[in-house]
A and B are shown apart, each in its own frame.
Chain A
């Protein structure tokens, strides 16, 4: 009689099999997924509904013109890099990867990207600054559709009521900000938070003053930091500046707690949604009249990860070519309030969004954060944020920057 015995076994084996299958499934699904030969994947950080939709529309047009199926995969911006690295080790990288330009050098240095020119993409009509923006070590890895930078946003009504003009130099800005600081309202808002946001906001002051990320303890960098300290001392900047992200800065501006702010075009959508807010935009003031206002270039770039499948990589480059084509750039720029990367597209865009012309001028002189340091940028950025926060909370700029420079030199 074997029945009872089988029963016992089944009682043990069924749950065991289920558990093992579950465990096995979990483990295996982490490792290499087979690529679907007919479907190309684009991984980006368009997790906002509007951005996701705009990208989906672009991809629909591109898949039609190229005759392939393209899927969009969106992960939060802060996770793109780590997710892509994990996918690299499990050999399941997407066909097109949208990286933040400041992350690209790390990925390129690791051997994770294919130079776009090798795959047949040209840099015709793209301004040199933006080609450099997508390049690492002299190789062009990433095509930008649009770029962004920082500018000075101001409340037109507040300035008009006070009879003040939009400042163009540091002295004017300090003066204007001081005059506009009244009651609960600060003259100026910016982000000096302990993350990349703060460093991004410091760069236009550092660069316009002739300072440089390769020498943090130079008098030019200290001068820029002293300017921030002076604004804080005047009371034109809130003490909370060291705790604000760029989104917080925008909230303060929209709530009327700041008359002017340093921010980027990605805030325009919410600024426009606020009724009764009459805002304008200008270039970031410079140390002396006649200086160049040098802002940081920001934005995502489209890259082809190194998957080892040449035919697919060629097609991925064509997908990038389509996504960053002139017409797509204009569409995306108008949707997202950014500036098209391509010169011809930018010219068309200027006529369609004249209120943002100041931004286009700012982009023309803007610089990439990683152009000089490449993958080293992240450690310099950490040292710099610690330095300006120390200086803004009491230390002298020179001492704080000197320590930051030492930290960078000894740390690497």
Chain B
């Protein structure tokens, strides 16, 4: 068995005990192995404990809570009677749920498409060498550094129909300067998506830019020698090489977009007339405005489920890439 030697090798050389080797007692191989296993578990334990406490526990709690009548009095009495599927029925019967679900889909798809396309275009753009490349690239990172709520508040001012910068700019260049960005039920969601795209571009750009650096230049050169146009080279060489990175960007982007809350609250509070309610704001509203924590948990669980499906998809794709 090599475990004895392995554990002995793992020992630090102790200069203060030079004679140690001479008087070394024979080490019991079984206890040494046990110790090693123990040590291995010891190193894993903090991570496991951490995951169980901060991810496992809340997750299970949230699932259980969605089957309970969890009201403010629960916090005092500790009693939350189980009420079967009542919370689920209430949520599904509420017309707002369907609306919020549909709007969440629109928001997520719209944001992802916009963020990804612009992010990719910028990433490709910055692979060229030109003066100020580095400075411009870091400037584009700015939206990423601004907290969501701050961007929300600033954009709300920019979008203001009468006094906003955007409309007065559009007006001066001869375009309609009274666009109801956030004040019309048909425009508001679109505007919120625009802001989220603005916020998401840096993330997409940085990751895709990194991915592009990995694509060997020789391949592009070979393709152009074969007579492929720039677009053809990009489509048939660069994009396939970029596929693993694209999956990462899209899945991570999806998971951070689908649960959007702070941005919507800061921009529109879910209004006007619920036209920007998403599953995230619905959870918030159920739990912290109506204090119906059971219903809030239901919507929360649905969100987790949606994210989990995509996480599994992501893991599968990654595993296949590894093969």
Stretch at the interface among A49-57, A80-88, A210-218, A294-302: A80-88
Q: Do residues A4 and B14 form an inter-chain contact, with CB atoms below 8 A?
A: yes
Known: A107-B72, A111-B77, A306-B76. A4 touches B20 (CB 8 A): yes
In the bound assembly, the distance between CA atoms of A214 and B275 in angstroms comes to 25
Interfacial residues of chain B within 68-85, with CB under 8 A of chain A in the complex: 71-78
In the bound assembly, the distance between CA atoms of A92 and B68 in angstroms comes to 24
Q: Do residues B273 and A389 form an inter-chain contact, with CB atoms below 8 A?
A: yes
- The verdict on B46 contacting chain A, using a C-beta distance below 8 Å, is yes
- The verdict on B271 contacting chain A, using a C-beta distance below 8 Å, is yes
Task: Supply 20 A–B pairs (Cβ within 8 Å), ascending by A.
Answer: A1-B20, A4-B14, A7-B12, A12-B43, A20-B49, A23-B46, A82-B288, A85-B72, A109-B73, A110-B71, A184-B163, A240-B161, A240-B163, A243-B183, A243-B272, A378-B289, A378-B291, A382-B290, A386-B273, A410-B93
Known: A3-B20, A23-B53. A109 touches B45 (CB 8 A): no
In the bound assembly, the distance between CA atoms of A271 and B23 in angstroms comes to 86
Interfacial residues of chain A within 89-127, with CB under 8 A of chain B in the complex: 89, 106-107, 109-112
- The verdict on A252 contacting chain B, using a C-beta distance below 8 Å, is yes
The residue of chain A having its C-beta at the shortest distance from the C-beta of B265 within the complex is A195
User: Which B residues are CB-close (under 8 A) to A19?
Assistant: 46
User: Which A residues are CB-close (under 8 A) to B74?
Assistant: 89, 110
The residue of chain A having its C-beta at the shortest distance from the C-beta of B291 within the complex is A106
Q: Do residues B185 and A394 form an inter-chain contact, with CB atoms below 8 A?
A: yes
The residue of chain A having its C-beta at the shortest distance from the C-beta of B13 within the complex is A4
In the bound assembly, the distance between CA atoms of A288 and B66 in angstroms comes to 50
Add 19 more A-B contacts to A19-B46, A240-B160 (CB < 8 A).
Answer: A3-B14, A4-B20, A12-B38, A85-B72, A85-B75, A88-B76, A109-B73, A111-B77, A195-B269, A239-B178, A239-B183, A240-B161, A240-B162, A242-B271, A243-B161, A385-B271, A393-B183, A393-B184, A407-B95
Known: A88-B76, A239-B183, A240-B162. A382 touches B272 (CB 8 A): no
- The verdict on A148 contacting chain B, using a C-beta distance below 8 Å, is no
Contact of A239 among B24, B78, B156, B162 (CB under 8 A): B162
Known: A88-B76, A240-B183. A194 touches B49 (CB 8 A): no
Chain B interface bracket (under 10, 10 to 19, 20 to 34, 35 or more): 35 or more
In the bound assembly, the distance between CA atoms of A152 and B117 in angstroms comes to 49
Q: Do residues B273 and A390 form an inter-chain contact, with CB atoms below 8 A?
A: yes
User: Which A residues are CB-close (under 8 A) to B39?
Assistant: 8, 12
* Interface 0/1 of B1-37, CB less than 8 Å to A: 0000001001110100100100111000000000100
The residue of chain B having its C-beta at the shortest distance from the C-beta of A388 within the complex is B273
**Interface residue ranges, A against B (CB under 8 Å):** 1, 3-4, 7-8, 12-13, 16, 19-20, 23, 27, 81-82, 85-86, 88-89, 106-107, 109-112, 184, 186, 193-195, 238-243, 252, 255, 257, 306, 375, 378-379, 382, 385-387, 389-390, 392-395, 400, 407, 410-411
User: Which B residues are CB-close (under 8 A) to A193?
Assistant: 269, 271
Contact of B49 among A23, A89, A238 (CB under 8 A): A23
User: Which B residues are CB-close (under 8 A) to A86?
Assistant: 75
* Interface 0/1 of B36-55, CB less than 8 Å to A: 00110011011001100100
Contact of A382 among B90, B184, B285 (CB under 8 A): B285
* Interface 0/1 of B274-305, CB less than 8 Å to A: 10000000000100111100000000000000
In the bound assembly, the distance between CA atoms of A109 and B185 in angstroms comes to 36
Q: Do residues B270 and A194 form an inter-chain contact, with CB atoms below 8 A?
A: yes
Q: Looking at the assembled complex, report how far the CB atom of B103 sits from the nearest CB atom of chain A, in whole angstroms.
A: 14
Known: A110-B75, A378-B291. A243 touches B268 (CB 8 A): yes
Q: Looking at the assembled complex, report how far the CB atom of B14 sits from the nearest CB atom of chain A, in whole angstroms.
A: 7
User: Which A residues are CB-close (under 8 A) to B17?
Assistant: 1, 3-4
- The verdict on B218 contacting chain A, using a C-beta distance below 8 Å, is no
Contact of A184 among B162, B270, B272 (CB under 8 A): B162
User: Which A residues are CB-close (under 8 A) to B226?
Assistant: none
The residue of chain A having its C-beta at the shortest distance from the C-beta of B24 within the complex is A1
In the bound assembly, the distance between CA atoms of A107 and B75 in angstroms comes to 10
In the bound assembly, the distance between CA atoms of A270 and B291 in angstroms comes to 33
User: Which A residues are CB-close (under 8 A) to B78?
Assistant: 89
In the bound assembly, the distance between CA atoms of A247 and B195 in angstroms comes to 22
Q: Do residues B269 and A194 form an inter-chain contact, with CB atoms below 8 A?
A: yes
In the bound assembly, the distance between CA atoms of A386 and B160 in angstroms comes to 20
Q: Do residues B271 and A7 form an inter-chain contact, with CB atoms below 8 A?
A: no
Return the 4 tightest CB-CB contacts between A and B, nearest first: A194-B271, A110-B73, A110-B72, A389-B273
Contact of B50 among A16, A23, A252, A257 (CB under 8 A): A23
* Interface 0/1 of B165-185, CB less than 8 Å to A: 000000000000010101111
- The verdict on B321 contacting chain A, using a C-beta distance below 8 Å, is no
Q: Looking at the assembled complex, report how far the CB atom of A268 sits from the nearest CB atom of chain B, in whole angstroms.
A: 23
User: Which A residues are CB-close (under 8 A) to B77?
Assistant: 111
